[in-house]
Structure 1
Amino acid sequence: MLTQIHPKLPMRNKLITRKFYIDKLGFEAFGNADYDGYLMVQKDNIQIHFFEFKELNPLENYGQVYIRTDAIDEFYKELLRNKTEIHPNGPLENKPWGQKEFSILDPDNNLLTFGQSLF
């Protein structure tokens, strides 16, 4: 029945968000139209959508997405090569709940956690 999910996260500035996800994380723009105040990006089999929220205070933003991967070590190395800042409390490590994870914050403080099963 359910086949996909495309989270929608807030962004203050479409150009900054677009540049971060494309240049730092390796996403690409998705869709044939460029809508004011809305952005869609994709990488492999996932999409993330963004809506404009110019008044967003990043220190009060609690947007979070957990993204599963089957190549966490390679993706982590790719982000480091792109000089993507890893969350200070979210370095790549094995977690007691059976996941290998790391986290980053985007320009609007949306938390992206990437995880791969250890089993």
Structure 2
Amino acid sequence: MDQPRFLAAVPALAVSDERRAVAFLQDALGFVEFQHEGRGLGILRRDQVELHVWVADGSAPGAERRLAGSVSCRIEVTCVDELHRHCHELGVVHPNAGLSDKPWGTREFAVLDPDHNLITLYERIAPA
């Protein structure tokens, strides 16, 4: 019998203002919003990556306001150097997470969205 396999994951970032978050993701990272229902949820896509932003507004358990800005995700990309140049020009690169090669085989950097959620962008590199 076949075993279940995980095929995709969709990061969902808690934000204080989904329109502001959507604008950031469009301008800084080139995502395109493809669904907005006007209820504090934005769904965006770029290439094969889908990303959701939702408003942590205190309206229900699990949606506490303190959650906005407390999440992170990692997104695998190509041409990470070019993406880093673009984000650096916009001034959104995390001050402690500039572009660097990591011992676990990635070249990566991170950006902070307007709520300070951490989005790490990485490219796999050949081991030394």
Q: 2:72 aligned with 1:64, yes or no?
A: yes
Q: Which amino acid aligns with 1:77?
A: R
Decide whether the 8 Å contact of 1:65 with 1:111 is kept in 2: yes
Query: Within 5 A, what are the aligned runs for 1:20-99?
Result: 20-31=24-35, 33-54=36-57, 56-57=65-66, 61-81=69-89, 83-99=90-106
Misfit runs of 4+, over 2 Å: 54-58, 77-81
The number of residues matched between the two structures is 116
Any gaps of 5 or more consecutive residues in structure 1?
none
Tell me which moved more, 16-25 or 49-58.
49-58
Q: 2:11 aligned with 1:7, yes or no?
A: yes
Any gaps of 5 or more consecutive residues in structure 2?
59-64
Decide whether the 8 Å contact of 1:72 with 1:115 is kept in 2: yes
TM-score (norm 2): 0.80
Q: Which amino acid aligns with 1:40?
A: I
Deviation (angstroms), 1:57: 4.1
- Return the alpha-carbon distance in structure 1 between the equivalents of residues 93 and 88 of structure 2: 8
Higher RCO (CA 8 Å, separation ≥ 6 residues): 1
Decide whether the 8 Å contact of 1:25 with 1:84 is kept in 2: no
Deviation (angstroms), 1:97: 1.9
Deviation (angstroms), 1:79: 2.3
